[in-house]
Amino acid sequence: MNPFPYSDDNKRYHTYSYYLKHKYGCKVARVTLNGGFTCPNRDGTLSTGGCLFCSEEGSGEQIAFPEKSLEIQFDAGTKKLSKWKNTKYLAYLQSFSGTYADIDRLKTVYDKCLSLPNVYGLVIATRADCIDQACCQLLAEYADKTDLTIELGLQTIHDKTNKIMNRCEGFSEFERAVNLLKSVNIPIWTHLLNGLPYETHDMMVESAKVIGQMGINGVKIHTLYYLKNTHFAELYQNFAMDKDEYINTVCDQLEVLPSEIVIGRLTGDAPRDKLLAPLWTSRKRLVLNAIDTELVNRNSFQGKFAAL
Ligand code: SF4
């Protein structure tokens, strides 16, 4: 018998599908859109190089027609999901920093997203340093009228890693943005990236433990991967995580994350044709099954050690 309370199946962690099913009572899908934003870590404001792990898509999924209108992107995105009937959608502004523009432009993009057919909510991915008072006030207005979630890319709480990765922001910016968003009750998700250069197992688990105590609503855990013919891979690919090490780390992280926190993902999503290392990341099902098995073998579940 599965002892984990937020599960209808064998999962011993709080899956996103469980959360959506219980919140909406029907199939809900996120449609990834490019709102035409950039990022202060790429446009020269802080740096032009970006975070070392950033992709051409601005750390977002590959989108069909990213340069076209939101309507065209949405149409292409929902066509892929057409086998599901009566689906509700969340517009997901994932690429680059979705709060990095003046207030009028933000309003235009957000309103357009919410006017798309069967869109019931908005998920905006951004950097912590792109949330200021004025932006937070605008987001609070949207949170009053729709289902809004802000995703802040943290990756690690350790600033020495942030420096190596050219993040050009640190954990204190994240704390400040979290406090600001929480003061107006906006749900916050974040990302953790395992396998960052020079990070030990204990550092990765500490990152999970700290964010678990901050009142965050959801977490996505990824593996750092390396792509062929990139300078980043040349420099750091020897840090690529071993599969067993990754599974052990993720289970340790789940154990310290409170059970109420929704787990958005537990694997990376590297483009297979470009993936150099770690190659096991392309076998997502195998990784997820191994995490399930490890939790059963430990007789454990998400949150088991969260309060300790
Ligand atoms: S903050 Fe995000 S979009 Fe900007 S450079 Fe870093 S990963 Fe890329």
pLDDT of residue 84: 73
Atom of ligand 1 nearest to the CA of 39: 4
Q: How far is the CA of 29 from the centre of ligand 1 (A)?
A: 24
Does 281 contact ligand 1 (Cβ within 6 A)?
no
Q: Given this model, what pLDDT does residue 80 score?
A: 81
127 Cβ below 6 A of ligand 1 = yes
Q: Which CATH class is domain 16-297?
A: alpha beta
Ligand 1 proximity of 149 Cβ (cutoff 6 Å): no
42 C-beta closer than 6 A to ligand 1: yes
CB of 51 sitting under 6 A from ligand 1: yes
Domain ranges of the chain: 16-297
User: What is the full per-residue pLDDT of the chain (308 aa) written as tens digits?
Assistant: 899 999 999 999 999 999 999 999 988 999 999 999 999 999 999 999 999 998 876 666 666 667 789 999 999 999 887 777 778 999 999 999 999 999 999 999 999 999 999 999 999 999 999 999 999 999 999 999 999 999 999 999 999 999 999 999 999 999 999 999 999 999 999 999 999 999 999 999 999 999 999 999 999 999 999 999 999 999 999 999 999 999 999 999 999 999 999 999 999 888 889 999 999 999 999 999 999 999 999 999 999 999 76
Residue type at position 92: Y
Ligand 1: atom nearest CA of 95 is 3
Helices assigned H by DSSP within the chain: 16-24, 70-79, 103-114, 133-145, 159-164, 171-183, 201-212, 231-236, 243-256, 284-297
The whole-number pLDDT of residue 5 equals: 94
Distance CA 109, CA 114 (A): 9
Closest residue to atom 1 of ligand 1, CA basis:
127
The reply to whether ligand 1 has any atom less than 6 angstroms from the CB of 34 is no
pTM tops 0.85, yes or no: yes
Q: Give the residue among 283, 165, 270, 267 at the shortest CA–CA distance from 228.
A: 270
